[in-house]
Structure 1
């Protein structure tokens, strides 16, 4: 639908040359920031699509319930005058689904924008200023799809603090992040803390409105510009963005969130104990990992490592559920799989270090 989301992003489609996974991995590990490059976007392969459709079939109800719980919590805390601000690009489908649920359940049409946040560079301040000016009396709620290590949670907290230092306090601007799945225990507003595959983790632009990852390079992003993005017009026939949203939206009529569940929710008493960081630190120590950036925990992040990065090893918990696709991808790529005592996650992907290669 046309009013699902407004993207506050600059079109830089002709200004960035895409690089292969191995080129990007070498550049990133040599110090180039990931936001200064784009991966090559291919039409989704049969394997990508197979994983996407099977996970969508398996988890559509679970995901819809997570959307509903997240939306209900947002409304309880922020009220009806809330602006959803999703973090492009993985957060965009989550934001659209939350907006659709609120419209379905309460006939409220919340404003929804999608803006860029980049690890190590912060949030798009021009986009935040635009939203605050456009909606001075509304509460902003940042939204993402899921948490891994919690890097974006930290980035958002630091970015909002820096924004307020530079531009003054805003009563309607808070750094709390809402996600559909929070296995790392890094946020207070979530649909579930179970580690499960949110299907849009399987695909790239074809599940995110045909947009690339966001780009920030000083030679193409000027002082007053929004962060950049590429639009993949050539992939329009493969686009599954609306199909995905429609499938999940149909599930809203198949369940009803019990009111006492929401009434019991108390934002101030929610525990954020960063449980997932214990797993990260243990992995870093036990495998002598040079940087935690090489450690990608959770089913969603592990799937993305196998599909988009250069993986070294996959760790799986003894009690792991719903990771058949992870095991299949690892087998096809010849990536070793090792049982490991994970507590917060069902599996974890480790990116291969290319130092010396």
Structure 2
């Protein structure tokens, strides 16, 4: 079914039987006197038609806005910090200012920030955090982003899951599947997974990649083999403790993010568990700290700076046609993984 075009100010004016200038003044200037009956007629027409004012439309249409909104989960996570650096690099080439907001994986905060950025007349909104599995939230986000894009704004999402705007699609499933093939090739058959919140689409995709990679070798995960926690260092600490305190702990821990794996390494080291002698550990993302971890972290390395650059470059393109840039990760084996003895 075709979508109904957005209601224009002109439509409100015609419905109320007033001039375009009068309708605009009545709706945009609360201090404007005018006739009370006329104002009520204009407001009633706007409400009946479902008119939504777009205070940023003129700035977007004339490309006067020099600001870009970047929505991320957590700037303290080097994954997002590195990606943000790529966005800023391209924005600076075009004399654009980047405003970064952190949702801390809260869908309500994400929606509120999108509304605020749109109201501030930003030229583009780049969504670098994973979408969530929440139909009501996703419908509300779609409505906000669609209205913003229809008014001339540019929308870019990093990773799949949103239907508005351009996409930088990170192959979370394929990257994790390749990583699992690599560690199984070293003889590993006993695994524990340090996962993030189940509502995050990226977490689900990476977990699916793990399961597919294991299935390729006839291995399945038990329900207790997956621990869900925060995508943070603390999440890795808690998850590692839960998995390694079992009667028969796994011989390989697969973390859905490097920051989680770094937390796991810290807990293992503090508790005298040898890595990779007693247990191997892997991550996902390729943050700079993966190289400096003790021991250095095996991971799926993404070109995070380039991902950010690609996202900002897409933000400078017209909304149509829709562009999708696919990004694959590379398995980088380091000291945190060894062949099973």
Q: TM-score range by the shorter chain?
A: 0.3 to 0.5
Between structure 1 and structure 2, the one with the greater Rg is 2
Task: Tell me the TM-score normalised to structure 2 length.
Answer: 0.37
Task: Tell me the TM-score normalised to structure 1 length.
Answer: 0.35
Q: Which fold has the larger relative contact order, with Cα–Cα distance below 8 Å and residues 6 or more apart in sequence?
A: 1
